[in-house]
Amino acid sequence: MKLPAHVLEQLVQSWRIGDLSAEELLDLFRNEPSVRSFLPDGYFVTDPRSGIRILFNPARSRRPHDNHSHVQESRPEESNCIICQGQTTGIVDAAQLSQGYTFINKNRFPALFPLTSEDLSRQKSFGASSEYKSGGTALGLHFLQWTSSLHDRDWHNMPAADRLIVMERLAALEEKLLVESPQLLKGAETSTGEGPEAGWVLISKNFGRLVGGSLVHGHQQIVLSSVMPKRYSDHRQFEQKRGETFGAFLLRENPFELMVKDYGPAVLLVPYFMRRPYDMMLLFKRTGLRYLHELDRVELQAAADGWRDAICIMREVMPAIGRETAFIVLTNNGPGSGLYFEFRPYTQELGGFEQLGLLVCQADPADTAGHVKRIMAAL
């Protein structure tokens, strides 16, 4: 199955995200009719114990494709894929691949949205009450990047040249959102971005029902947020305290035997503090990096190849150990990060001790790295 080219072209509002002004991009979001019924509440609160910020959008529970049987994840050729049928929002960026297209559109069920002052005034939530001092206004833009218009194509089975194009478009979106963030997030008093940026770009991939991947058709989620996630402040504090980025620290301190593959400008490894079996990270040797769009073409190819290899490993490991295939890919960008990716397969649940902050990992990092290398050799 695939999204036909003529249907895709009818959905295209812009072929290149960089061609849109901030005002045009905001208008495309605010005038998308199918999104208006699923707007977030527009505020956040902070857990006083940890500093973690919490957003609210009860409308996301009404996603029609969300609460399905687990069998859905094992049927990649579903005839009722809404993306292949073109039942989606307008496209703001698209690029041709060797077969089909990769494209970016607006999330119909956004975690954050460029709410107007009129929208905010209509919100009836305790978050607007003056007695809650730990939060504030939460604004942003929520995108989806569809890896391919072909239903059964994703990072693990696409040609290297196609993977590079997908990564380049992801980097272009990140750059656009950061450069335009002062205009896109205007009115968000809580923003404390550094330099010319006024917000944060969050990039992740969820695959599988168990980690919130409600659609099988391969995709990435991208959010421009006025609210700074805890990980970003952690990275900043790490660099301020140690005088180096987290990426530089881990490349130096992680044992050599835990390295899985060297791509030249980047390294795939199992971290010595592996939280769950088969956790992996991809780090760049140019450790002063902060953002995806700062990578040159060779580094972008290394990133795309690292994603491919790590995802292939997770997709092979999980059925072999009797687990439903589910994983998360996290992009760690921003000051203090050194820019790195995390690959987190859902190989073990979080129990009570884990929720309190004491994790018991059911595998050994050295054994895991050895197994991952054997899988890699067979790819």
pLDDT at 125: 56
CB 124 within 8 A of CB 160: no
**Best CA proximity match to 338, nearest among 300, 287, 299, 302:** 287
* CA 175/CA 98 separation, integer angstroms: 25
**Best CA proximity match to 127, nearest among 44, 49, 203:** 44
Residue 23 CB-density burial (10 A; 0-12 exposed, 13-18 middle, 19+ buried)? exposed
What's the pLDDT band for 191 if we cut at 50, 70, 90? very low
Residues 6+ apart with CB under 8 A from 315: 156, 325, 327
pTM beyond cutoff 0.95: no
Bridge-based pairing of strands 91-96 and 101-106 is antiparallel
- Enumerate domains of the chain plus CATH numbers: 5-228 (3.30.428.10), 233-378 (3.30.428.10)
**Best CA proximity match to 329, nearest among 290, 292, 377, 285:** 292
Tell me the CB-side half-sphere exposure of residue 93, using CA atoms within 13 A: 26
- Per-residue pLDDT tens over the stretch 287-322: 999 999 999 999 999 999 999 999 999 999 999 999
Strand partners, 147: none
Entry field: residues in the chain: 379
Highest mean pLDDT among 73-87, 129-143, 202-216: 202-216
How much of the chain, in percent, has pLDDT values that exceed 70?
A: 89
pLDDT above 50 for 190: no
- Per-residue pLDDT tens over the stretch 245-278: 999 999 999 999 999 999 999 999 999 999 999 9
pLDDT at 197: 59
- Per-residue pLDDT tens over the stretch 199-234: 999 999 999 988 877 788 999 999 999 999 999 999
* Stretch 339-363: mean pLDDT: 94
Structure tokens that stand for 188 in this block:
């968000």
What's the pLDDT band for 73 if we cut at 50, 70, 90? very low
CB 283 within 8 A of CB 247: yes
Report the sign of the C-alpha dihedral through residues 47, 48, 49, 50, in that order.
Answer: positive
pLDDT at 211: 87
